[in-house]
Structure 1
Amino acid sequence: MANRFPHIVMIDDDEDDQYFFREHFKSCDDHLCFEGFIGGEAFFDFFDNQELEEDQLPNLILLDLNIPKDDGIDILMRLKNNATLKLIPVLVLTTSSSPLDIEDCYNLGVHSYFVKPMSLQETKELVSVIYEYWFNQNIISRLKTG
C-alpha cells in the first residue's frame, strides 16, 4: 500500500467541535488530512458519489451520536454494513454517557467510545491520545499511513 498522510473524517453537526478537533489534530501532524461532514447524509452523499481507491479512504472516522435529522447509531450501522467502509476504525465522540448508547455502539463494532470533553485543554489532551494511539502505536494504522 502506498505511503500517505493520516486521513480523518469527522461526522458531527457541530461546526465548532469540528473546528476544534481539526485544529488539535493538525497540531499533532500538520500534514494530516481532516474532513468534516455535517451529518451522515453529507458523508454518505460524498463517499457514495466518489470512486475512491483504498488509499484514498480515511484511516479513522470520528462519529457524534447526537446529530439532528440523523441518528448516530443508524450512521454507525450504515458504516459497518458498507463493504468499503466497514473496516475503517470508528471512534464515537459524543455528549452521551448512556450505558445503552455505549453498549449499542460496541455491539455494532465501534472501536472506541469517548464522551466529548468540556474544555479546550481536555479536548487537546484527548486528541493527542487518539493521534498517538491510532497513528503511532496501532500497527494497522501505521501500515496504512506508512
Structure 2
Amino acid sequence: MTVFPLRPLLVVEDSAEDFTALTRVFRKLNLPHPVVRCEDGDQALAYLQGHGQAAGWPDTMPALVLLDLNMPGTDGRAVLEAVKQDPRLQALPVVVLSTSSSRRDVEHCYQLGANGYLTKPIQYATFEAKLRLTVQYWLEASELPRIN
C-alpha cells in the first residue's frame, strides 16, 4: 500500500489578522494537513499554475483552496475565474471567504465556479463553527479529485 502525504490546504488571504484567526481554528481542529498561505492573487496563481516549480512550494496540489475575495491587485474573483477556466485546475475545490455578504458577490462567485461561499463573521465563535463545518466536509467527508 502506498501512503500519500496529506495534500495541503491553500489559504489565499492578504490580511495577517484573518490568516492568524484561520490558523488558530486549524490548530484547535488538529488539522493534519499542512497549510500554505499566498498573500495575494498573483502568488496563488503562480503556485497553482506552476506547482512544484518554485523552491519552497509544495509539489502537490492543495486539497482545498480558501480564497479571500477582496484583495489588492489580482483579487479573488480573478483567481477563481482563472482556476475554473484552467482544465488542469477546474476540479480543485475553491471556497470563497469574504466579509461581503452582497447577493451580487455571492451569485457572481457561484457563476465563476465557486464550490462554496462563506462570509467572515465578526464573532470568532461563529467563524470557528463555519470553518469547522467547511473543513470537515471538504477534507473528511468528500471524495476529492486527484489533481496533478
TM-score by length of 1: 0.84
Q: Does 1:122 align with 2:126?
A: yes
1:136 deviates by 1.9
Tell me which protein shows more helix as a share of its residues. Answer: 1
Which secondary structure state, in structure 2, belongs to the residue aligned with residue 91 of structure 1? Answer: strand
Aligned length, in residue pairs:
140
Number of the residue aligned with 2:137? 133
- Uncovered stretches (5+) of structure 1, i.e. residues with no partner: none
1:50 deviates by 3.5
Q: Does 1:66 align with 2:93?
A: no
Which secondary structure state, in structure 1, belongs to the residue aligned with residue 5 of structure 2? Answer: coil
1:1-146 matched pairs, under 5 angstroms? 3-51=4-52, 56-138=60-142, 140-141=143-144
Letter matched to residue 44 of structure 1: L
Letter matched to residue 89 of structure 1: P
TM-score by length of 2: 0.83
Conserved 8 A contact 1:66-1:94 = yes
Structure 1 outlier segments of 4+, above 4 Å = none
Taking structure 1 as reference, are residues 129 and 56 closer, same or farther at Cα in structure 2, changes over 3 Å only? same
**RMSD over equivalenced CA pairs, Å:** 2.1
1:129 deviates by 0.6
Which secondary structure state, in structure 2, belongs to the residue aligned with residue 114 of structure 1? Answer: strand
Conserved 8 A contact 1:76-1:108 = yes
Letter matched to residue 70 of structure 2: N
Which secondary structure state, in structure 2, belongs to the residue aligned with residue 70 of structure 1? Answer: coil
